[in-house]
Amino acid sequence: MKKPNIAILGATGVVGREITKIVDELNIEFNEIKFLSSAKSAGSKIEFQGKEYTVEEAKPESFDGVNIVLASAGGSTSQKFAPEIVKRGGVLIDNSSAFRMDKDVPLVIAYVNDEDLRKHKGIIANPNCSTSQLMLVLKPLHEKAKIKRLIVSTYQAVSGAGLAAINELTANTKATLDNKEFENVCFKKPISFNVIPQIDVFCENGYTKEEMKVVNETKKILHLPEELPISCTAARVPVYNGHSEAVDIEFEESISPDEVREILNNSFGIKVIDNPENFEYPTTRDASGVDPVFVGRIRKNLAFNNGISLWCVADNLRIGAALNTVRLCKKVIEMELY
Ligand SMILES: NC(=O)c1ccc[n+]([C@@H]2O[C@H](COP(=O)([O-])OP(=O)(O)OC[C@H]3O[C@@H](n4cnc5c(N)ncnc54)[C@H](OP(=O)(O)O)[C@@H]3O)[C@@H](O)[C@H]2O)c1
């Protein structure tokens, strides 16, 4: 198998740093690797596999000879560089929302809809973090009993909004405890000791863009009919890392909580912790820094026929961004799609 030249675009950001770690953890074999950022971090050093690399400012020429670009540098940066990457014969695996709903761009969770990768025309999109963790859970259940209706409520960590948001939680918490004034910048309301029912901007229908990402991306990845009812409420919580989701699913066919437990226990990338009598259920502290999507509180939903409710927790920087990006890179190499 030929080895690709790889570039990590946005290497100095929260997601980019995680991507770099996981390229090593998943033993991605490459010929050459380079680390790209904006002018701000250009010149800084990155230690990787025992070697020191200098971060370079991303320019069109940076992508000469690069086969696979793992990008987490924001939508406008991806939009700016995508044509340059594709023109040079490279494949862009993009973490931003810029191309996710483009019909020519496969939106893929590794081990869920890998075959969609074959349709790529130079760009592959990584789903939004709150959608990502849900897909590994829903895919095997959909295969068994067919989803009829879905309601998701998310409790999302600040790391999902980048490095500046992580720092804002710390500073805001200190200021609150010290009884000092604090001017919030990343969030519309103070994030310390608070829950904010807004992630991203509001759409005309009253949902936020984040909520509509869950609705639209879920349908695209699972190949669900456009008219299938899905609703989402997304909230930001004062947690550093790890998104939690309360999920209510109505199925076409009957499925019991025990069957759900058994299916998920045997599914790729899932760990079931579900023993409420002993207070065993997943929390963000279990999920932060590790790969599995954790599921617990599996029970019959009282509002739907054939309904199941469950609680799902995962590391949003890993499965929600970096881990899936690197898994997609691995699939692209294995399937020889570059
Ligand atoms: N955080 C998450 O959970 C998450 C999940 C899914 C997707 N994403 C997406 O991933 C992207 C990055 O998120 P993040 O949380 O890692 O943000 P971040 O911590 O703010 O990092 C942004 C990175 O992009 C680089 N960058 C910014 N403008 C650039 C430009 N014009 N040219 C080249 N590089 C540029 C920055 O370089 P400098 O160091 O030079 O500024 C930095 O390396 C966003 O699109 C975000 O929506 C994030």
CATH code for position 95: 3.40.50.720
Residue 235 identity (one-letter amino acid)? A
CA 128 distance to own-chain centroid:
5
Write out the H or E segment, with its range, that includes residue 144.
helix 129-145
Check whether residue 78 and residue 164 sit in a common domain: no
Structurally, the chain folds into a number of domains equal to 2
Check whether residue 104 and residue 223 sit in a common domain: no
Check whether residue 111 and residue 27 sit in a common domain: yes
Please tell me the residue having the least CA distance from ligand 1 atom 47. 96
Asked if residue 90 is part of any domain, the answer here is yes
Residues with Cβ < 8 Å from 256, sequence gap 6 or more? 300
Backbone torsions φ then ψ of 271, nearest 5 degrees: -130, 120
Beta carbon of 324 within 6 Å of any ligand 1 atom: no
Check whether residue 14 and residue 101 sit in a common domain: yes
Check whether residue 327 and residue 197 sit in a common domain: no
Task: Please list the residues that pair with 57 across neighbouring strands.
Answer: 37
Beta carbon of 13 within 6 Å of any ligand 1 atom: yes
Asked if residue 204 is part of any domain, the answer here is yes
Asked if residue 16 is part of any domain, the answer here is yes
Backbone torsions φ then ψ of 190, nearest 5 degrees: -60, 135
Residue 336 identity (one-letter amino acid)? E
Check whether residue 92 and residue 164 sit in a common domain: no
Torsion of CA 218, 221, 222, 227, to 10 degrees: 50
pLDDT number for residue 332: 98
Asked if residue 251 is part of any domain, the answer here is yes
Active-site residue among 120, 232, 243, 312?
243
Asked if residue 1 is part of any domain, the answer here is no
Check whether residue 197 and residue 245 sit in a common domain: yes
Task: Please say if 129 is a catalytic residue.
Answer: yes
Check whether residue 139 and residue 123 sit in a common domain: no
Check whether residue 115 and residue 151 sit in a common domain: no
Question: How many angstroms separate the alpha carbon of residue 11 from the centre of ligand 1?
Answer: 8
Question: How many angstroms separate the alpha carbon of residue 266 from the centre of ligand 1?
Answer: 35
DSSP state, residue 120: -
Active-site residue among 129, 232, 312, 329?
129
Check whether residue 119 and residue 166 sit in a common domain: no
Report yes or no: 117 and 111 within 8 Å, Cβ to Cβ: no
Beta carbon of 296 within 6 Å of any ligand 1 atom: no
CATH of the domain at 175: 3.30.360.10
Asked if residue 30 is part of any domain, the answer here is yes
pLDDT number for residue 2: 82
Other C-beta atoms lying within 10 Å of the C-beta of residue 203: 12
Beta carbon of 130 within 6 Å of any ligand 1 atom: no
Q: Which of 333, 318, 146, 303 is nearest to 243 (CA)?
A: 318
Where are any strands of DSSP class E within the chain? 6-9, 33-37, 45-48, 51-54, 56-57, 68-71, 91-94, 123-125, 147-156, 230-236, 243-251, 270-272, 293-300, 307-314
Provide the token pair at 26.
């998943």
Instruction: List the chain residues with pLDDT less than 70.
Output: none
Question: How many angstroms separate the alpha carbon of residue 71 from the centre of ligand 1?
Answer: 8
Q: Which ranges in 152-236 belong to alpha helices (H)?
A: 163-177, 209-222
Beta carbon of 309 within 6 Å of any ligand 1 atom: no
Beta carbon of 59 within 6 Å of any ligand 1 atom: no
Ligand 1, residue 75: give the atom nearest the CA. 45
Residue 314 identity (one-letter amino acid)? A
Provide the token pair at 2.
């030929």
Q: pLDDT tens-digit profile of 159-216?
A: 999 999 999 999 999 999 999 999 999 999 999 999 999 999 999 999 999 999 999 9
Check whether residue 143 and residue 68 sit in a common domain: no
Please tell me the residue having the least CA distance from ligand 1 atom 7. 95
Question: How many angstroms separate the alpha carbon of residue 96 from the centre of ligand 1?
Answer: 9
Please tell me the residue having the least CA distance from ligand 1 atom 43. 10
Check whether residue 301 and residue 325 sit in a common domain: no
Domain span holding position 69: 6-127+321-334
Provide the token pair at 309.
């409710």
Beta carbon of 163 within 6 Å of any ligand 1 atom: yes
Residue 186 identity (one-letter amino acid)? C
Task: Please list the residues that pair with 94 across neighbouring strands.
Answer: 71, 125
DSSP state, residue 150: E
Asked if residue 13 is part of any domain, the answer here is yes
pLDDT number for residue 1: 74
pLDDT number for residue 188: 95
Task: Please say if 120 is a catalytic residue.
Answer: no
